[in-house]
Chains A and B, each alone.
Chain A
Amino acid sequence: MHPAKSVIFFTTASGAGYGLLALLIAATIGGLFPADFWLAFAGYALSYVLITAGLLSSTFHLGHPERAWRALTQWRSSWLSREGVMAIFTFLPTGLYGLHHLFFPDLLPGVMALVGGVGIFACIVTVYCTAMIYASLKPVHAWSNGYVPMGYLLLALMTGSVLLNSLLVAFGYAATLVILLAVAALVAALIWKVAYWRFLDSTKSISTPESATGLGEFGSVKLFEAPHTEANYLMKEMGFQIARKHAAALRKIALGAGFILPVILILVGLYLGGIGLIAASLLAVIVMAIGIVTERWLFFAEARHTVGLYYGASHA
């Protein structure tokens, strides 16, 4: 599948934003968040910038961005529509809770904890909806499986917790619990990613050139002549393929930068302390961002669509 830059940025940035936002609210409800206005402000601002920039970028690849509002109407059947509705709804409880946290911390604490809880739940559901846009596409074997929603949720938690950790560190509130959470999420996501790739490498789509043409009873089927001499939309969009050796190299970059290096940097930072801790935590975020963008690029580039079976692919 063609890896569109806007969609890669949308899924990674908004995922990290929702992860950070949910963790911020959870920590505050749990009474663990430091009473520091600017820290909280920076946290909410960063979350909303990531979420909003992601959502806006997702409209860039549309043929008619001015009609994007129509995408909110078909939530009964479409995961993309559900994602849009949930993304907008999530602003409400999380925004209310953020205002409460920053400006009216003494107002209706019980009710606001409930609102915050709804906000956390909405963040999770929104990320789940994003994942289901892909996981509901049966023609794409690499997407239509349980690993995908699990992965989107894990990566949102992971990127959110690494961001939260570096924020806390930068404001001088390094917290063991958040460090543990970030490292645990990084390791869990690493295990998930390796398991996902093993799944990809050991299985393929139930559809074959034989089932695509229905000619299996006569023998093995392969493309003899394409319908046309030039590439068409289907081949560019769905037939995007990456060379195996490049995929292998990019997987190493994704694993190293996205998961392993951030763990090492966070732990080395702890050992260094002081300015070294701040530098290492911020570097962990930058390195992780490179790794996760690579991971998401591969998520598209390695996915094969059944339409390829009509254009010479031996499997999908």
Chain B
Amino acid sequence: MTSLPKEPPKKKLGLVIDLDICVGCHACAVNCKEWNSGGHSAPMTDTDPYGADPTGVWFNRIHSFEVENEETGGRTVNFPKSCLHCDDAPCVTVCPTGASYKREEDGIVLVNADHCIGCKLCSWACPYGAREYDEDAGVMKKCTLCVDKIYNPNLPEESRVPACVSTCPVGARSFGDLGDPDSDVSRLVASRGGYDLMPEQECRPTNKYLPPRPKKQGGEGQTAPELMPVSDSSAGVIARWVDRFLSA
């Protein structure tokens, strides 16, 4: 059924992505591709991978944005984006076949590849670009929140998190139940002012983003401390002597 669950799922598994920490290394995207090449929605087809025009399916892509501000200066923000597992997921309700569905037990949005006709309408309905069409398989693919990993009893407890979370070298990604206000991820969101992407599209995404922290106030402006000039009168005797020697 492509109708959404009547009651929004109590348990809402999702990700919290900390834009203050992310260093933009793409490791989460690489490990996502690695795990999911053998997972629920495998294969993650690549077309012409070693040729002139390589293209392929990825569930997670890392953008970088430049934020310009005349007063505080510019900053660069690394921005990983994958499926947000929305409460009001339009990709689910537009699906004509019932292949696209949202799980009642944990809110994960999945595609049944055996029923998908490859009409691509779900990818049009998603404002975030979370769904990617597999030209080779003729079906739509998307982030599964590593549904085949997070519940896998053969894995050690600490490994039962999505591949992107377990691989992040800086801990910029957290995984948990965002439907439980007392969970670690919910507390993190509350304490850091976590927010929804494009709330005006009214999809009520589960995944939350944590904003970059304000830059450290360093004296006058917010720029890095200036380099020490060599010839400054406060420099040491030898430095001044070297400077005079070189300037001559």
Contacts and interface: CB of A to CB of B under 8 A. Distances in A.
A67 B115 contact: yes
Most A-side CB within 10 Å, residue of B1, B67, B96, B128: B96
Contacts of B123: 233-234, 237-238
A62 B117 contact: yes
Contacts, number: 201
Interface residues of A, number: 58
B90 A219 contact: no
A34 to B, nearest CB: 40
Given A77-B4, A214-B195, A218-B69, 10 more contacts: A77-B94, A81-B97, A139-B124, A206-B200, A207-B198, A222-B68, A224-B66, A233-B57, A307-B128, A310-B81
A311 B64 CA distance: 10
A207 B96 contact: no
Interface of A: 1, 61-65, 67-68, 70-74, 76-81, 84, 133, 136-140, 206-207, 209, 211-215, 217-228, 230-234, 237-238, 305-307, 310-311
Contact of B127 (A71, A207, A227): A207
Interface stretch (B129-137, B144-152, B235-243): B129-137
Given A76-B3, A207-B127, A62 B198 contact: no
B98 A73 contact: yes
B138 interface: yes
A67 B139 CA distance: 11
A305 B124 contact: yes
Interface of B: 1-4, 19, 26, 29, 53-58, 61-69, 72, 74-77, 79, 81, 90, 92-99, 115-121, 123-129, 132-135, 137-139, 195-202, 209, 211-212
Nearest to A227: B61
A78 B96 contact: yes
20 contacts: A63-B118, A63-B134, A63-B139, A70-B115, A73-B97, A74-B3, A139-B124, A139-B201, A206-B200, A213-B197, A214-B196, A220-B69, A223-B64, A224-B65, A228-B61, A230-B54, A230-B55, A233-B132, A234-B123, A237-B124
Contacts of B98: 70, 73-74
B197 A215 contact: no
Nearest to A209: B65
B239 to A, nearest CB: 38
A138 B96 contact: no
Most A-side CB within 10 Å, residue of B123, B129, B137, B195: B129
B93 A77 contact: yes
A219 B74 contact: yes
